[in-house]
Amino acid sequence: MRAGSRDDADVIVVGAGPAGSSAAHWCAAAGLDVLLLEKGEFPRDKICGDGLTPRAVAELARMGVATRAEDGWIRNRGLRVHGGGRSYELDWPDLTSYPGYGLARSRMTLDHTLAQHAQASGAKLLERTKVTGPVRDERTGRVTGVVVQGLDTGGRADGEPRELRAPVVVAADGVSSRFATSLGISRRDDRPMGTAVRAYYRTPRHEDPFMESHLELWSGAPGKSDLLPGYGWIFPLGDGTANVGLGSVHSTPARQSAASIDYRRLQDTWLRNSAPEGWEISPEAATGPVRGAALPMGFNRGPLYSDGVLLAGDSAGMVSPFNGEGIAYGLQAGRVAADAIVQARVKNTGAAREAALATYADRMRADLGGYYTLGRWFVRLIEHPEVMRVCVRYGLPRKVVMQFTLKLLSDCYEPRGGDWIDRVIAGLTRVVPRS
């Protein structure tokens, strides 16, 4: 089914994280010849909270990924929220669109599982394969493949660079997205940027049925420091450990840089001054170092499609400004990208193929654009410590407010119908700009 005799595949996917593996799975399942390129070697780590909301679970179900407990998956009922001296246990909402539970699994094994699932669907996975740049058509400038460099087990160049060709490339190579950067597609400076750190800790509550969210994140001891725009989390993994971390968000990269927060030190301070009760978590219980990563939010890089390249997942800044969730949107982006690619394959003219590929950007913005706009406004509000104090003081005592907040922040609501909370959120996402 290749477009030309010189093509090595119908589709090349750069990066085998959730977005890339999802795109590779769906394209291969539709009968396309897929090359999935991964710079690292599985199993490999990724800085993340390791929690999957019901929205992400729904995407895994669509893909046919088995999520059995014996394979390392642990279910959770919902979110236990702490703040202002109060706490609530909030079950995931009972919806027709999503399952009523979440999951947790370390990215060390999650990404490997998804890549293997793509392989089982027919995609060819090439590990230790670094993509160094695009191959362009000399006449049109359209991307027609990638230049790759093999790597040895130490990450050093192994052999000569070579070209791999395909009529479509999916760039899913993460927050830095060197492939998008090589095409001149840079980040937007008017979109939120988050930072998260996490480590794994031994805990007797590793099978707790709730994920925890701690809404008061202080730069030092409570009452003697600033309240930061972010939250701390504890996600039980069922293997004797929990993923414990914290994240903070700012409305622009410039404001993030100006904040100058030492997040690793902040994590240590948070645990020593506000250790969550009963978990027996402390810096001494860590099984490894605290590691951090940037979180690109709210479509901070685009266009999502141009000249034969589709951006998916972190490469396109598809992390939610509300809660730092990225896995669900990466999985969704891979599915929608694959659908656009498959539809383009059956078109008879170049113009028709381009129109089909462009529907990817239209569909992603139609579904997420309004929600991300609300998220940007939310970040601008919580950047002000006094706003955070009011939210914690007056929002937490009201369970209906917390139920609204859970649906809004987790993006788990009925897009059509549902209760009054679902209708309010859905209505807001439709009336705000989707850019």
pLDDT in tens, 300-331: 999 999 999 999 999 999 999 999 999 999 99
Q: 388 in a domain, yes or no? A: no
In this prediction, residues 137-166 reach a mean pLDDT of 95
pLDDT at position 5: 59
For the chain, the three-class secondary structure string (H helix, E strand, C coil) is CCCCCCCCCCEEEECCCHHHHHHHHHHHHCCCCEEEECCCCCCCCCCCCCEECHHHHHHHHHHCCCCCHHHCCEEECEEEEEECCEEEEEECCCCCCCCCCEEECCHHHHHHHHHHHHHHHCCEEECCEEEEEEEECCCCCCEEEEEEEEECCCCCECCCCEEEECCEEEECCCCCCHHHHHCCCCECCCCCEEEEEEEEEECCCCCCCEEEEECCCECCCCCCCCECCEEEEEEECCCCEEEEEEEEEECCHHHHHHHCCCHHHHHHHHHHHCCCCCCCCCHHHECCCCEEEEEEECCCECCCEECCEEECHHHHCCECCCCCCCHHHHHHHHHHHHHHHHHHHCCCCHHHHHHHHHHHHHHHHHHHHHHHHHHHHHHHHHCCHHHHHHHHHHHCCCHHHHHHHHHHHHCCCCCCCCCHHHHHHHHHHHHCCCC
Q: Is residue 227 part of a domain?
A: no
- Confidence grade of residue 254 (pLDDT, cut at 50, 70, 90): confident
392 occurs within a structural domain: no
Q: Which of 82-86, 219-223, 393-397 has the highest mean pLDDT?
A: 82-86
**Residue pLDDT, tens place only, 18-58:** 999 999 999 999 999 999 999 999 999 999 999 999 999 99
Q: Which of 64-78, 104-118, 123-137, 218-232 has the lowest mean pLDDT?
A: 218-232
* Domain count along the chain: 1
- The reply to whether 386 falls in a domain is no
pLDDT score of 1: 41
**Is 27 inside a domain boundary?**
yes
User: What is the domain range of residue 346?
Assistant: 11-74+103-188+298-374
Lowest mean pLDDT among 130-134, 152-156, 266-270, 277-281: 266-270
Pick the more confident residue, 391 or 72: 72
Model confidence pLDDT, tens digit, residues 209-237: 999 998 877 776 666 667 777 889 999 99
Average pLDDT score over residue span 248-255: 83
Q: Are 412 and 92 in contact (CB under 8 A)?
A: yes
- Position 95 scores a pLDDT of 93
Domain-embedded: residue 250: no
- Percent share of the chain, pLDDT over 90: 75
- Domain with residue 174: its CATH number is 3.50.50.60
Mean pLDDT of 296-301: 95
Residue 254 inside a domain? The answer is: no
Rounded average pLDDT over 165-193: 94
pTM value > 0.85: yes
* pLDDT attached to residue 2: 53
Token pair listed for 15? 């990066």
Domain assignment of residue 203, yes or no:
no
The sign of the torsion formed by the CA atoms of 19, 25, 28, 30 equals negative
Give pLDDT, residue 301: 96
Mean pLDDT of the 163-186 span = 95
